[in-house]
Amino acid sequence: MIPEYQIRNAVIVDGSGSPGKKGCLDLNNGIIEAVGCREHPAQHVIDAEGMIAAPGFIDVHTHADAYVGDFECMKSFLSQGVTTCVTGNCGFSVFPLKGRAGKEHLRYGAPVLGEARHSAGYKSFQEFARQNRSAFVNVAALTGHGALRTNVESRFPNPWEIEQMARKLEEQLEEGAAGLSLGLIYYPGSVTKREEFVKLSRIVQKHGKVLAVHLRDEGLRICDSMEEMLSLAQETGVHIHFSHHKLMGVKSWGWSEKTLELFRQAKKGGLELSLDAYPYTSGASTAAVLLPPWVCADGMEKTMERLKSRRILEKIKKELRQDIEGWENLSRSCGWANLVAVKAGPDGREISGKSIKELAGADGCGEVEKLAELIVREKGKLCVAIHGMSQEDVDRIIQFPDTLIGSDGLFGPGAAHPRRYGAFAKFLRRYAAEKKVLTLEEAVHKITGLAAETFGIRERGFLRPGYAADVVIFDQKKISDRSDYQRPEALAEGVKYVFLNGQIVLDNGTFFCKRAGRTLHI
């Protein structure tokens, strides 16, 4: 039978890490029919002379949960060759939500998840999958701990409520969710007791899935924070995935040697571990992450009330002058001058790109007062860029053999960071093409085969007969990120063709609005 597409003359880098070989690739009925074959008739022929054919890239850390059905938003991934997004990270997900607490979860997470204009949230993974059975990328969705917690009433759940949560989590995993995510710097993860994590981790381990963790502290106490999760893995056998691994704050620069050795030794000791990172020296998150956890503990309405109280602002100021046990104080580790406001609402242009310190000085007030004023003004929908990492640490972590790549792209109003638009293009350009610290095959393996194996994504991540026809064709000499902090939404260049489940969605610079993606059951 004549295949729909034959890709000719490409160097085929199959995702396994093996050396690339020149040959042809046949795609038919949504699957890869042949790899490395000879030229023969096909309905459509693509001459990829001088280019690389690879499996579609897998972004293992996104917050695209509510936007996988938004074509314009998904261009940021497709332009880089990303065909599969792992959503539900850092404890934030759009399922399984319940009642008023579910709405509060979405409101608290709005700077990260966006305003969920395509979703008021879902009761279960099954409902999420049904509503997103066709999307503009493939989706593997984690269950967020914050979303799971909306199914019980208590701030500190009792054993019966923890059992309720465990049953609810089991339902999500049985329905096809990819695992569970924790955000230990965010509420409720920041105040959750260990017995809850142990119970939930046992459920994740039982199903052979992943526990993805935003650590409690990525600065001076990062090793303690890693040990907290390593002990959880030791006790329960769960696969721990360290999300966006980094060293935040000048005093912790250089410690990546320590953290990676800790990871290496724990894995050597038999623990199942993995990690991801993005190739930038700044992070970004909701501005609420700068507030002590108790401030946001009772929903955003209560948070707004607290931030209007002079007495409470004085309490916050006092706490932020010191280290807080069990929580990363970013204002202390990075400094207010390195915490930069990102435009949120329509009236936010005058604050965008300016540090909290600069904004406070201009108005003759303190940083805490200015932060509170901005959060209240923007109704909680304020993002901050966090400039706190060293390039040396980022490079060391990215080159580490076990490191996957995740963009950590945000979808909040105006939450622009170049990583969502350029992480994969920058990774390939910087580490494989320019620095040459990774071979092209090693780099592609990280963002395809290794990512698929880590998250249990079946029949993707490799160019093999019978696998889904997610294929990217790119020019290694031209692939590059164009986004920066001044133009964060500039699309990447160098990716020429993208196939998503056998359908062409990027054809030599032209995007096709096709709902060719699927929600994957892991």
pLDDT for 260 equals 98
User: What whole-number distance in Å separates Cα of residue 295 and Cα of residue 368?
Assistant: 13
Span 388-438, pLDDT tens digits: 999 999 999 999 999 999 999 888 766 668 999 999 999 999 999 999 999
What integer pLDDT is reported at residue 513 of this predicted model? 95
Distance (Å, whole) CA 418 – CA 486: 9
Burial 94-115 (b: 16+ CB within 10 A, else e): bbbbbeebbbbbbbbbbbbbbb
Separation between Cα atoms, residue 373 and residue 376, nearest integer Å: 5
Instruction: Write the DSSP string, 494-521.
Output: SEEEEEETTEEEEETTEE-----B-B--
- The answer to whether 425 and 494 are in contact (CB under 8 A) is yes
**Would you state the structure tokens that stand for residue 307, as one six-digit string?**
């931030």
What CA–CA distance (Å, rounded) separates 90 from 331?
Answer: 20
CA distance 132 to 240: 27
- Comparing CA positions, the residue from 188, 184, 271 lying closest to residue 234 is 271
Phi, psi of 110 (to 5 degrees): -55, -40
Block mean pLDDT (10 aa), the chain, length 522: 95 98 97 95 96 98 95 96 98 96 91 74 96 96 98 92 98 98 95 96 98 96 97 98 96 97 98 98 90 89 92 94 86 92 63 87 90 90 89 98 96 79 97 97 98 98 98 97 85 97 96 97 98
